[in-house]
Amino acid sequence: MIPYARQHINEADIDAVIEVLNADYLTQGPKVPEFEQALAAYCRVPHAVACNSATSALHLACLALGLGPGDILWTSPITFVASANCGRYCGAEVDFVDIDPRSYNLDVAALEEKLRLAERRGRLPKVVVAVHFAGQSCDMRAIAGLARRYGFRVIEDASHALGGTYRGEPVGCCRYADIAVFSFHPVKMITSGEGGMAVSRDPELLRRMRRLRGHGITRDAAEMSEPPPGDWYYQQLELGYNYRMSDIHAALGLSQLRRLPQFVQMRTRLARRYREQLSDLPLILPWQAEWQSSAWHLYVVQVSDEAGIDRKTLFAALRQRGIGVQVHYIPVHTQPYYQRLGFRPGQFPRAEAYYRRALTLPLYPGINPELQDRVIEQLRELLA
Ligand SMILES: *Cc1c(COP(=O)(O)O)cnc(C)c1O
């Protein structure tokens, strides 16, 4: 089976991990801050907070922004459940904004309309999580404009978009957001095994996320309620978590980060090949806004209604032929957990219509032209 995504590990990656295994620290050593600094430099922000997953980083981001019971978080229904769950962890209410039918990102016009209504009802969100679906940035300038007008904070869920750009700057530079979050799960742009990172320009948000990552503990005398009696001393100031990344994971992530430009280039080339060779088929190919360059985490097509075969049938046939297609994503509000919270199918019709036709084709740095040609051939046969 050709998978839809796969990590790309080379000798340098392996050596980086072995080096840590032979060193003094498996965790809380030098590799985590090194990885944090390298990613912050890549994103052109002052600092970063590495975590054991992007889900943890999203949770910390929500906490740092003060999200809690009685507050509301909005995100897109076409995302991984973690983009919404982070609000629920904090006891906040979650709601969704329907997608733009071209980019499949949260629709800015729908967001504006929903904000207008919410203001009238006194139900404005405290946080909006903008998900850069498939690696294509949301229109962050427009979202930041609405954030100023309606007083909400912005988290970029950039789990798909490391290596992408928005208006000439790297995704994650936080010009238009309070915090951006990346994932290093093996299917994502780079991997640390498991792992995630939050980046920000705001030193206070970074400080809060770092403290909550480590049990709410401080070793900084300036933050303590009394002068420390000795070097052993620390204080727990609030209820935090153990969301730390290990040095083993950080070493892999750091080595992979050096390879990121090459990964993006390979993915971009593969996406171009798909576009060239699939454009005559009854498929809706990914649309790209001109003010961004995608990281191409996913290559998602929609099966047109005139294809003569529906997505479900095409999916099964491709899987049977060894093509590991996937579907991203089941609209979050249709999940049983969110249904129990009161959401109903039909609430976000564009997301649901997209979901019925969506199909993710294999795309990852290690797929060679011959394997990609097999995917293309099978698609041509089935859609002929
Ligand atoms: C993968 C992913 C996450 C969660 O990442 P983990 O590192 O697995 O916790 C969150 N949001 C989106 C959009 C993702 O694709």
Nearest atom in ligand 1 to 133's CA: 13
The two beta strands, 72-75 and 47-51, are: unpaired
Q: Is the CB of 83 under 6 A from ligand 1?
A: yes
Of 36, 34, 58, 53, nearest in space to 45 by CA: 36
Of 214, 184, 181, nearest in space to 200 by CA: 181
Q: Is the CB of 307 under 6 A from ligand 1?
A: no
Q: Is the CB of 160 under 6 A from ligand 1?
A: yes
Rounded-to-integer distance, Cα 302 and Cα 299, Å: 10
Ordered alpha helix ranges (H), the chain:
11-21, 31-43, 54-64, 82-89, 108-121, 140-150, 203-213, 247-258, 260-278, 311-320, 336-340, 349-357, 369-383
Write down the pLDDT at residue 384.
85
Rounded-to-integer distance, Cα 124 and Cα 216, Å: 29
Nearest atom in ligand 1 to 187's CA: 1
Question: Which residue numbers in the chain have pLDDT < 50?
Answer: none
Rounded-to-integer distance, Cα 346 and Cα 352, Å: 7
Q: Is the CB of 105 under 6 A from ligand 1?
A: no
Q: What is the pLDDT of residues 43-101, one digit of tens each?
A: 999 999 999 999 999 999 999 999 999 999 999 999 999 999 999 999 999 999 999 99
The two beta strands, 283-284 and 217-218, are: unpaired
Ligand 1: centre distance to CA 23 (Å): 30
CA angle in degrees (0–180, nearest 5) for 344-348-349? 110
Whole-structure pTM over 0.85, yes or no? Answer: yes
Strand, helix or coil for residue 59? helix
- On the 0-12 / 13-18 / 19+ scale of CB atoms within 10 A, 270 is buried
Neighbours of 171 (CB within 10 A): 28
Q: Is the CB of 292 under 6 A from ligand 1?
A: no
Rounded-to-integer distance, Cα 230 and Cα 224, Å: 13
Which letter does DSSP use for residue 65 in this model? T
Phi, psi of 125 (to 5 degrees): -75, 150
Q: Is the CB of 165 under 6 A from ligand 1?
A: no
Q: What is the pLDDT of residues 319-361, one digit of tens each?
A: 999 999 999 999 999 999 999 999 999 999 999 999 999 999 9
Omega cis (within 30) before 150:
no
Mutating to test ligand 1, I would choose from 73, 79, 80, 99 the residue with most ligand atoms within 8 A of its C-beta, which is: 80
Rounded-to-integer distance, Cα 322 and Cα 344, Å: 35
